[in-house]
């Protein structure tokens, strides 16, 4: 039998349980409203990633930062048992360990080098200057100091005002995690959200 995520799920849950649970879960307040999440580095396009990932959790098990979680029913049936990263909670440190153990190539193997980091495309950082302390005369710079590609993906000016260079940002989420403002002044737009928007507007 061909190994697939569907087969893994069927093996994990009795065949009749999943169809019975989905209608019940749909009635739970807030169900279907997905939280913003990132895929691990090296992830294929969302459609291809979902077709390749079998939910084995090897990427989560090998992650030294423990930032990879496996999605549950609350994230929708099509995301069940897929790996995700919530940047605000714990971002990706770009060690690339997860990309080395994926058995189905849902994650492309990537080297733990500067060049490997530059090839990551997890998302793009977006800054809200109206929330950023440094844009209001209170120097901060936490996001810049956390960036794995300082001077490339992000530069700073007077009062450590950050400027994001979208073409260099890899979307690891470290800037979002480090932001001391509540709500955070910098957020990561996941690659799969950007991809979905581009598809809707006929740009891909």
Which pLDDT belongs to residue 158? 92
CA distances from 156 to 56, 120, 132, 161, 189 (A): 41, 22, 13, 5, 21
pLDDT tens, position by position, for the chain (204 residues)?
Answer: 445 665 566 555 545 554 555 444 444 444 444 579 999 999 999 999 999 999 999 999 999 999 999 999 988 899 999 999 999 999 999 999 999 999 999 999 999 999 999 999 999 999 999 999 999 999 999 999 999 999 999 999 999 999 999 999 999 999 999 999 999 999 999 999 999 887 666 665
Domains 1-117 and 121-204 equal at CATH topology level: yes
- Predicted TM-score of the model (pTM): 0.81
What are the sequence ranges of the domains in the chain?
A: 1-117, 121-204
pLDDT attached to residue 196: 84
The pLDDT, as a whole number, for residue 33 is 45
**Residue 68 φ then ψ, to 5°:** -95, 125
- Maximal CA-CA distance, the chain: 62
CATH of domain 121-204: 3.30.70.20
How far is the C-alpha of 89 from the C-alpha of 109, rounded, in Å? Answer: 25
Tokens of 121: 């495309």
The per-residue pLDDT for 26 is 43
Q: How is residue 203 annotated by DSSP?
A: -
C-alpha to C-alpha distances, 199 to 11, 23, 27, 49, 90, nearest whole angstrom: 33, 29, 29, 16, 29
Domain 1-117: which topology?
Alpha-Beta Plaits (3.30.70)
Dist. CA 54–CA 107, nearest whole Å? 11
């Amino acid at each position: 039998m061909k190994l697939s995520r569907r087969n893994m799920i069927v093996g994990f849950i009795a065949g009749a349980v999943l169809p019975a649970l989905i209608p019940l879960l749909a009635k739970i307040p807030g169900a279907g409203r997905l939280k913003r999440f990132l895929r691990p580095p090296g992830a294929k396009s969302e459609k291809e990633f979902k077709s390749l990932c079998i939910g084995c959790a090897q990427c989560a098990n090998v992650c030294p930062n423990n930032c990879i979680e496996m999605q549950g029913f609350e994230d929708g049936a099509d995301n069940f048992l897929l790996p995700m990263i919530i940047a605000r909670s714990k971002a990706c440190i770009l060690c690339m360990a997860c990309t080395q153990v994926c058995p189905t190539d849902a994650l492309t193997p990537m080297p733990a080098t500067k060049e490997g980091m530059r090839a990551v495309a997890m998302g793009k950082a977006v800054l809200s200057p109206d929330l950023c302390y440094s844009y209001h005369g209170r120097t901060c710079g936490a996001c810049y100091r956390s960036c794995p590609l300082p001077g490339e993906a992000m530069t700073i000016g007077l009062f450590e005002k950050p400027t994001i260079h979208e073409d260099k940002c890899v979307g690891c989420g470290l800037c979002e995690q480090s932001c001391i403002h509540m709500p955070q002044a910098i957020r990561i737009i996941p690659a799969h959200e950007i991809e979905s928007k581009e598809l809707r507007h006929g740009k891909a």
